[in-house]
Structure 1
Amino acid sequence: MEALAANGTDSLQRAVAGVTAVSGVAGKRRFEEQRSVFDKRLRFSVRQTESAYRYRDLVVKKQDGFTHILLSTKSSENNSLNPDVMKEMQSAMATAAADDSKLVLLSAVGSIFCFGLDFIYFIRRLTDDRKKESIKMAETIRTFVNTFIQFKKPIIVAVNGPAVGLGASILPLCDVVWANEKAWFQTPYTTYGQTPDACASLTFPRIMGVASANEMLLSGRKLTAQEACAKGLVSQVLWPGTFTQEVMVRIRELVTCNSVVLRESKALVRNANRAALEQANERECEALKRVWGSSQGVDSILKYLQKKIDEF
């Protein structure tokens, strides 16, 4: 088993690696202008350095009235989520919860929003100490998901590309979801030997009905952005060519609202379901411990990773 895990991991990593002198008045003016540009670039460079030091897998921008958190993972491929990424996300959201931000905008750098859990990271640990690591991993997910459930300010999501697994199931825990028309959504849990996460066992049936939810959670049906919008997973679909600009126009309209009004409005919508969501999160994480703690669960992940290698 350990040899198979190591070989599968190494092969997948190889595949991914194959598939970041002045004079006179005019001269003095030019000098001052150049110095001003240099000073601005230097300040920008310092801010970027500080951000890089603080967050390895995120880009966090404090804007006028909101905090913009972008997935830009260095420790995983395709903006996928491992414990390091999730802890950074929790840290950034905790900062935004405590400062004067009226809301959080969550998006991603590149053409992919989030490919869900980083199974390369997970399988390495599951094959070392299956029972202990399955508990640790499930608890990490539980804490991460609770961060979204308990966040008091509005969370706006701009889905620029594919949202898979946890990257899709987290969306109903946010407040507004705008999607690029080229984005798509999939929760192929059974394919890689996992049970639902991020309260999808509760939110998906409520949003889209039991039959459609089961199509996604059991058979892994892929939804286009328009289909996701029709089923209630997405608030609105925006044109790809102007996606970022349209998102920012809408965000700037939202941040003109009173911060107390935004928080209280969210509380009225969300608080009635908060306990149910926390309970669903707990149940799902207990199920993940049982699945990942079994040899069949590890085998399923290994088979999924091997299939991805073969497809590549």
Structure 2
Amino acid sequence: MTIPISSGTTTTTTTTTIASAISTTDTSVRQPNVLLNKRKGVAIIRLNRPHKYNALTKQMYDSVITSLTDAATDQSIKLALITGTGSYYSAGNDLNIYEKSFKHFDGHMNHTVDNLIEKFRQFVIAFIDFPKPLIAAVNGPAIGVAATTLALVDCAVASDTAYFLTPFSSMGLSAEGCSSYTFPQIMGQSMAGQMLYFNHKMSATEALQSGLVSRVIPSAQFDEYIESWIFADRTGIVNTCYPQSMRASKQLVRSAAIRRVLHEVNRSECLILRDRFNSDECLEAIEKFFGRNKQK
């Protein structure tokens, strides 16, 4: 049975395997851009816009927030997993949301930017405050906020086809998703600098070496690995890990004090992002982006 829980999100209690949840959708049939599938105590959140490389729209932000909130409050859910449909995990923000918001607010730049920044801030908060184990199955490239929020999940595993890119300076923007705090903590100052300042395209192997992901799996085996790791009868997480035990350990790792730091970092980053969105550099970068797209 399929039950809509928010605009653009669908939840289902079928026994769909991870493999079919990750596989490319038949785009001839319109489906929600975010799907929430509940299976054996696992909430599988799937970014489902493969024809746009799972680039995030405002509706998708809302849907992911709603899905995480639903998984957090559903007593039957032990943990959550987020992944993508098709060849990409997510290409990050769909820049068309900037143009659409601008039109929605009748050309008022401040209203446009404030609305986008607040939506973005709430999206990051949903990752910071999720109380249960949260896994990212990075089936392909992760760009922008899709890469930065990986540092807020509890465990990320990646396909060998994945890469990680935070092209903030090429867009005239600045670090977001708490990456100004989490990236140096995870990978050290030098590599974080390459990522956050210099648009370094990090390979899956580099992500493993830096600690951003815990494992890299050959793409041909990725679906099978995730399925077995989580659901195998005798060895899968859902059958070997008690949910309250996992949650208690997460409360120690992601303590209230650490969450307060992350919330403050998120707030500070969003304030700077607001200024960057209004900067000449950002406006020039967005104009170049739309100009290139119109020429295609």
Q: TM-score range by the shorter chain?
A: 0.7 to 0.9
* Residue 109 (1) aligns with residue 85 (2): yes
Q: Which residue of 1 aligns with 2:146?
A: 167
Q: Which moved more, 1:122-131 or 1:269-278?
A: 122-131
Q: Which residue of 2 aligns with 1:273?
A: 258
Cα distance change of structure 1 residues 260 and 53 upon mapping to structure 2, 3 Å threshold:
same
Q: Report the count of equivalent residues.
A: 265
Q: Hey, which of these two has a bigger chunk of helix by percent?
A: 1
Q: Is the 8 A contact 1:126 1:292 kept in 2?
A: no
Residue 285 of structure 1: CA displacement? 0.5
Q: Hey, which of these two has a bigger chunk of strand by percent?
A: 2
Residue 52 of structure 1: CA displacement? 9.3
Cα distance change of structure 1 residues 160 and 53 upon mapping to structure 2, 3 Å threshold:
closer
Map residues 227-246 of structure 1 onto 2, 5 A cutoff: 227-246=206-225
Cα distance change of structure 1 residues 216 and 103 upon mapping to structure 2, 3 Å threshold:
same
Q: Is the 8 A contact 1:130 1:292 kept in 2?
A: no
Cα distance change of structure 1 residues 241 and 306 upon mapping to structure 2, 3 Å threshold:
same
3-state secondary structure, aligned to 2:254 = helix
Residue 57 of structure 1: CA displacement? 1.2
3-state secondary structure, aligned to 2:198 = coil
Cα distance change of structure 1 residues 287 and 69 upon mapping to structure 2, 3 Å threshold:
same
When the two chains are superposed, the root-mean-square deviation of aligned CA atoms in Å is 2.1
When Rg is computed on C-alpha atoms for both structures, the one with the higher figure is 1
Residue 69 of structure 2, aligned match among 67, 87, 94: 94
- Percent of aligned pairs with the same residue? 32
Q: Between the two structures, name the one with larger relative contact order (CA 8 Å, sep ≥ 6).
A: 1
Q: For 2:98, give the aligned amino acid.
A: F
* Residue 261 (1) aligns with residue 216 (2): no
Q: For 1:240, give the aligned amino acid.
A: S
Q: Which moved more, 1:145-154 or 1:191-200?
A: 191-200
Gap runs ≥5 in structure 2: 11-31
Map residues 66-215 of structure 1 onto 2, 5 A cutoff: 66-73=42-49, 77-99=52-74, 100-126=76-102, 128-215=107-194
Residue 283 of structure 1, aligned match among 226, 250, 268: 268
3-state secondary structure, aligned to 1:161 = coil
Q: Which TM-score applies when normalising by structure 1?
A: 0.80
Structure 1 CA distance, aligned partners of 2:72 and 2:95?
30
Structure 1 CA distance, aligned partners of 2:163 and 2:214?
14
Residue 94 of structure 1: CA displacement? 1.1
Residue 197 of structure 1: CA displacement? 1.1
Q: Which residue of 1 aligns with 2:288?
A: 303
Gap runs ≥5 in structure 1: 1-45
Structure 1 CA distance, aligned partners of 2:177 and 2:128?
9
Structure 2 CA distance, aligned partners of 1:51 and 1:296?
36
Residue 251 of structure 1: CA displacement? 1.4
Q: Which TM-score applies when normalising by structure 2?
A: 0.84
Map residues 31-42 of structure 1 onto 2, 5 A cutoff: none
